[in-house]
Amino acid sequence: MTIAKEINKVLTVYKQTGLGVPRSGSGGQALRRETSSGKLAVATYENNEITSHKQSTGKTHGGRSSTFTLNGLLSGNTYSTLFASVLRGAFAATTPIASLSITITVPGGVPTLTAAGATFLTNGIKIGDVIRITAGTYANAVNRDNNLLVLSVSETVITGVTLNGSTMIAEGPIASSTLTVVGKKLAAPITSQTSDYWTVEEYHADITRSELFTDAVFSSADVSIPASGNTTVAFNAVALDRTSSGAQVLTTPTAETTTEVLQGIKGAVIVQGAAVANVTGATIKIDGTVAPMGNVLGANVAPDVSRGVLKVSGQLTAFFENGTMSGYFDAATPISIAIVDAADETNNSEFISFVMSKVKLEGDDKDTAETGIVRTYPFTAEINGDGGAALENAKTILTIQDSLAA
């Protein structure tokens, strides 16, 4: 007797062309994971009848729906399409700004890029972006191809902090420089939101059994970033139905990514434009408030999946060092939070960042440990109505930047 084993399961996702068009055949993307699990739920109704034999006449099956969960380790481009579905948008590249003459200064240890006649804001540079100088003959290697997290930006001046803590060196002006926003960015859009549907297959190769979840909508993503350890992500999906068969349905999927797992210890946290060194952990929850619509007569599955308001929340934990964060909470001051996870400590490490430019803290509880006291700051993000094109912040609730997003 052969028993199915998790290690032999192939998890594949395929974005459908629309509602009611499940995929069958070649294609799709195989996903790496820690765990994944799909579940079929069927409503049942007790037959509350009174009969002469005084025994139950059982239950009746009603509408069907399915849920799917995926837990993984965060890495570049591995889950970019799923993040895009949850945020109802698409990753897009920012056009590099070429032919610049850049002068680098480091006042007070803060790298500052100045380019006469440049148009950083007009060309889409935002606070929280990770940028690199990717062209220009620089005498100091640390100034080229080094990840710089933008703390402030005007049309001609950018200040930032390097992700790995390396020290940029003053020099310039350097002609023929190019400034590049690394990889691609995904911002929850204010118009033209996407409505993605997926076919998700768990294929148990060792027993040749397929469980196929159709018209699935990825509803939420939960990111957990420890101070030391791997960053994890958990996705949840709502599907209209599940079917089972004795053969693989999504055949020859693209192989899993091989990108490096990201860690918070190799990234940076920016609160209200300042690097913060006392954060011990962070979580971010993206919730699309998704649920199946109610059933209709003549069908045992709902006609569609409803999408509600997109919500973003989370929390920071930090050593109790001063009253700055508590002051933000006391005064209900909207603040910005940018969290970047990197793969390693090289200058051009791969990374993923999460930027929320309008956040309110909702508490500042502290523990009672005899060692360093840690405070917990839950938060809720909201759309930044003061952001927009050619401004220092995007008009969105959350932006994700992935250095490897396809």
Q: In CATH, what number is assigned to the domain containing residue 139?
A: 2.40.30
Question: How far apart, in whole angstroms, are the C-alpha atoms of residue 211 and residue 354?
Answer: 33
* Tokens at 157, concatenated: 């001046």
Same domain, 357 and 390: yes
Nearest 10 degrees: CA dihedral of 326, 329, 332, 334?
90
Same domain, 392 and 309: yes
Same domain, 173 and 293: no
If pLDDT is split at 50, 70 and 90, which confidence band does 264 have? confident
Ordered alpha helix ranges (H), 155-294: none
Classify residue 281: in a domain, yes or no: yes
Classify residue 38: in a domain, yes or no: no
Residue percentage of the chain with pLDDT more than 90: 83
* pLDDT for the residue numbered 301: 85
The Cβ of residue 299 has, within 10 Å, a number of other Cβ atoms equal to 11
**Which residue reads 């929320």 in tokens?**
356
Interacting residues of 207 by C-beta distance below 8 A, sequence separation 6+: 2, 3, 4
For residue 312, the domain's CATH number is: 2.30.110
Classify residue 44: in a domain, yes or no: no
Classify residue 368: in a domain, yes or no: yes
* pLDDT for the residue numbered 117: 84
* Tokens at 110, concatenated: 């803060």
Same domain, 369 and 278: yes
Classify residue 268: in a domain, yes or no: yes
Range 374-394 average pLDDT: 96
Total number of domains in the chain:
2
Same domain, 396 and 358: yes
Instruction: Say which amino acid occupies 305.
Output: V
* pLDDT for the residue numbered 267: 85
Q: What is the pLDDT of residues 186-204, one digit of tens each?
A: 999 999 999 999 999 999 9
Range of the domain at 113: 97-182
* pLDDT for the residue numbered 297: 83
Instruction: Say which amino acid occupies 142.
Output: V
Same domain, 154 and 284: no
**Which residue did the predictor score with more confidence, 369 or 158?**
158
Same domain, 172 and 275: no
Classify residue 53: in a domain, yes or no: no
Report the candidate in 212, 213, 211, 235 with the shortest Cα–Cα distance to residue 222.
235
Same domain, 71 and 145: no
Classify residue 61: in a domain, yes or no: no
Ordered alpha helix ranges (H), 249-303: none
Same domain, 169 and 294: no
Give the H or E element holding residue 101.
Answer: strand 97-105
Half-sphere exposure of 389 (CA within 13 A, CB side): 5
Question: How far apart, in whole angstroms, are the C-alpha atoms of residue 359 and residue 12?
Answer: 35
From residue 337, alpha-carbon distances to 80, 165, 263 in Å are: 21, 19, 18
If pLDDT is split at 50, 70 and 90, which confidence band does 294 have? confident
pLDDT tops 80 at residue 268: yes
Report the candidate in 44, 27, 34, 28 with the shortest Cα–Cα distance to residue 6.
34
Question: How far apart, in whole angstroms, are the C-alpha atoms of residue 36 and residue 33?
Answer: 7
pLDDT tops 90 at residue 277: no
Range 45-72 average pLDDT: 92
Range 296-311 average pLDDT: 87
Classify residue 12: in a domain, yes or no: no
Same domain, 285 and 309: yes
* pLDDT for the residue numbered 295: 78
pLDDT tops 90 at residue 376: yes
Same domain, 307 and 343: yes
Question: How far apart, in whole angstroms, are the C-alpha atoms of residue 59 and residue 46?
Answer: 4
Same domain, 75 and 146: no
* Tokens at 17, concatenated: 């062309």
